[in-house]
Amino acid sequence: MTALAHETPWGFAPEPSGQEVPRPDLDEVLWQAWEAMELPEGFHAEIIEGFIEVSPTGCYAHSQIANKLRRAADRYLADGPYAGHQDTNVVHDRKVWIPDVIIALEDFEAQDVIEHGVGVKASAVEVAVEVVSPGHNSITRDRVRKRRAYARAGIPVYVLVDDHDLRGIVTVFTSPMPDKGDYAAEHRVPYGTDITIPEGPAKGFVIDETITGPPRGDR
Residues 143-172: tens digit of each pLDDT: 999 999 999 999 999 999 999 898 999 999
**Residues 70 and 106: beta-carbon distance below 8 Å:** no
Q: How far is CA 72 from CA 55, 58, 63, 186, 205, in A?
A: 26, 19, 14, 22, 9
CA end-to-end span of the chain, whole Å? 30
Mean pLDDT, the chain, whole residue set: 84
**Does residue 158 lie in a domain region?**
yes
* CA 141/CA 143 separation, integer angstroms: 6
Angle at 95 between CA 52 and CA 130, to 5 degrees: 80
**Does residue 64 lie in a domain region?**
yes
**Does residue 4 lie in a domain region?**
no
**Does residue 20 lie in a domain region?**
no
**Does residue 28 lie in a domain region?**
no
Q: Which backbone phi and psi does 151 adopt, to 5 degrees?
A: -65, -45
**Does residue 46 lie in a domain region?**
no
Domain of residue 66 covers 58-218
**Residues 116 and 89: beta-carbon distance below 8 Å:** no
Task: Say how many domains are in the chain.
Answer: 1
pLDDT band per the 50, 70, 90 thresholds, residue 41: low
**Does residue 5 lie in a domain region?**
no
**Does residue 114 lie in a domain region?**
yes
> What's the pTM?
0.79
DSSP tag of 217: G
- Tens of pLDDT, residues 67-125: 999 999 999 999 999 999 998 999 998 888 989 999 999 999 999 998 777 889 999 99
Domain of 184, CATH number, reads 3.90.1570.10
Confidence (pLDDT) at 19:
57
* CA 79/CA 193 separation, integer angstroms: 26
* Residue 143 CB contacts under 8 Å (≥ 6 apart), including other chains: 132, 160, 162
